[in-house]
């Protein structure tokens, strides 16, 4: 019988769609060995509303014991804001301690975590801080796309000031390593997008491609060569054509320089089934590419396919006993 590693799941904000997408996804994968970090009562009520049953292979660690008066779908509070971070902390302890082989996280609210006195920049930063990871990045996966972001949710005007040849190169290296280690690509082809329209059009529309992106591409290629990983890094490429080039097979992954450069093609093509994979951690961590969706929580309208895809990817990677290597 094939080895099936145990997957850790944090249910996210109990007032969001996390509990319902978790129970629906697990009902669709009754054979997956899962430990859920959350609240048994919250999950039971979510399962009743969704008309599903949690499989016997799923065990629940009740980090909180919230009654119906404490949490209602679509009505976040300081209680739920605190609980969501506590669930993630417990799940993180489990994966660090080897009790689970990988981590799948349902969405949390940064606003309500902050209101509860628990500032939460992002899952990636939370996890990186817990394990002391020196460099991490988020790869979005779906519909034939693999796109890694250099910068995250920041105002567009700040992007040029946050980019550096070093940060672009490090993200590129993490991407190539993930293609090799996680996805078995023998000679990863990583394309780096330009910042400006038409990749600057020879400097007429900006010169960041010349003084920033091109040096980053060269640095990434040197770092990969030094590490012994054979890979092909190219760029800067025109942002309006690079994603189609990946879809037709010219590249294995794209490095996007800012949030929407990555998210627009992902949201367009992968829609509800996109998965976020955190690169640079010593364990597998995935999540669906959506938020808490308080406006539809508890209404039966939430789609669980994104969480299901995140669960499937985490299970697949954990079964191969893969982990992203330290790139220091």
pLDDT digits (tens, 9 = 90+) for 179-194: 999 999 999 999 999 9
Distances (CA, A) of 311 to 110, 166, 251: 23, 32, 26
Sign, Cα dihedral of 272, 5, 7, 148: negative
pLDDT at 122: 92
pLDDT at 137: 97
Q: Across-strand partners of 189?
A: 232
- Cα of 134 vs its chain's centroid, Å: 17
Banded pLDDT at 196 (limits 50, 70, 90): very high
Mean pLDDT, residues 148-158: 95
Residue 10 in contact with residue 100, Cβ under 8 Å?
A: no
Strands, sheet with 284-288, edge to edge from the N-terminal-most edge strand: 58-62, 34-38, 7-10, 102-105, 284-288, 275-279, 137-142, 145-149, 253-256, 189-193, 232-237
Say if residue 328's pLDDT is above 50. Answer: no
Mean pLDDT, residues 2-21: 91
pLDDT at 200: 87
Helix (H, G, I), strand (E, B) or coil at 142: strand
Question: What would the two tokens of residue 289 be?
Answer: 């590419």
> How many residues appear in the chain?
328
Give the tens place of pLDDT for each residue, 252-295: 999 999 999 999 999 999 988 999 999 999 999 999 999 999 99
Say if residue 113's pLDDT is above 90. Answer: yes
Banded pLDDT at 319 (limits 50, 70, 90): confident
Buried b (16+ CB within 10 A) or exposed e, 218-236: ebbbebbeeeebebebebb
Quickly list DSSP for 264-290. Answer: HHHHHHTGGG-EEEEESSSSEEEEES-
Percentage of the chain exceeding pLDDT 70: 96
Q: How far apart are CA 150 and CA 171, in angstroms?
A: 6
Instruction: Establish how many alpha carbons lie within 13 A of residue 102's alpha carbon, considering only the half-sphere containing its beta carbon.
Output: 29
Mean pLDDT, residues 222-241: 97
Say if residue 322's pLDDT is above 80. Answer: no
User: Measured between alpha carbons, how far apart are the two ends of the chain, in Å?
Assistant: 37
User: Cα torsion at 310, 144, 274, 120 (round to 10°)?
Assistant: 80
pTM: 0.93
In degrees and rounded to multiples of 5, residue 315 shows phi and psi of -65, -45
Banded pLDDT at 323 (limits 50, 70, 90): very low
Helix (H) / strand (E) containing 174? helix 165-181
Residue 236: asked if its preceding bond is cis (omega within 30°), the reply is yes
Say if residue 244's pLDDT is above 80. Answer: yes
pLDDT at 3: 54
Helix (H) / strand (E) containing 183? none
Parallel, antiparallel or unpaired: strands 189-193 and 137-142 = unpaired
Give the tens place of pLDDT for each residue, 15-64: 999 999 999 999 999 999 999 999 999 999 999 999 999 999 899 999 99
Phi-psi region of 147 (alpha: psi -120 to 50; beta: other; left: phi over 0): beta
Q: How far apart are CA 300 and CA 233, in angstroms?
A: 44
Question: What would the two tokens of residue 49 be?
Answer: 């509303």
pLDDT at 23: 98
> Taking all residues of the chain, what is their mean pLDDT, rounded to a whole number?
94
Mean pLDDT, residues 138-160: 96
pLDDT at 272: 85
pLDDT at 271: 83
Instruction: Establish how many alpha carbons lie within 13 A of residue 227's alpha carbon, considering only the half-sphere containing its beta carbon.
Output: 19
Q: How far apart are CA 105 and CA 314, in angstroms?
A: 10
């Amino acid at each position: 019988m094939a080895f099936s590693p145990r997957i850790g799941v944090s249910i996210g904000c109990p007032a969001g769609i996390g509990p319902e997408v978790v129970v629906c996804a697990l009902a669709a994968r009754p054979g997956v060995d899962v430990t859920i970090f959350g609240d048994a009562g919250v999950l039971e009520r979510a399962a009743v509303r969704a008309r599903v049953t949690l499989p016997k292979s799923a065990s629940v660690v009740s980090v909180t014991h919230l009654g119906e008066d404490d949490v209602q779908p679509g009505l976040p509070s300081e209680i739920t804001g605190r609980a969501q971070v506590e669930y993630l902390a417990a799940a993180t302890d489990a994966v660090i301690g080897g009790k689970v082989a990988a981590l799948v996280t349902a969405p949390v609210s940064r606003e309500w975590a902050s209101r509860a006195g628990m500032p939460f920049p992002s899952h990636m930063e939370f996890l990186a801080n817990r394990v002391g990871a020196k460099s991490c990045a988020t790869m979005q996966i779906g519909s034939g796309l693999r796109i890694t972001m250099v910068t995250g949710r920041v105002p567009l005007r700040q992007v040029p000031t946050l980019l550096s040849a070093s940060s672009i190169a490090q993200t590129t290296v993490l991407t190539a390593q993930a293609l090799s280690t996680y996805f078995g690509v023998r000679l990863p082809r990583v394309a780096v997008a330009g910042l400006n329209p038409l990749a600057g059009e020879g400097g007429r529309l900006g010169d960041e491609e010349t003084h920033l992106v091109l040096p980053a591409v060269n640095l990434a290629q040197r770092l990969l060569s030094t590490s012994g990983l054979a890979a092909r890094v190219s760029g800067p490429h025109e942002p309006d054509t690079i994603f189609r080039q990946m879809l037709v097979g010219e590249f294995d992954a794209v490095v996007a320089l800012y949030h929407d450069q990555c998210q627009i093609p992902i949201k367009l093509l992968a829609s509800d089934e996109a998965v976020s994979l955190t690169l640079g951690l010593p364990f597998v961590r995935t999540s669906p590419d959506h938020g808490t969706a308080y406006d539809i929580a508890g209404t039966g309208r939430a789609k669980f396919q994104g969480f299901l895809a995140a669960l499937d990817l985490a299970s697949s990677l954990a079964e191969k006993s893969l982990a992203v290597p330290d790139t220091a």
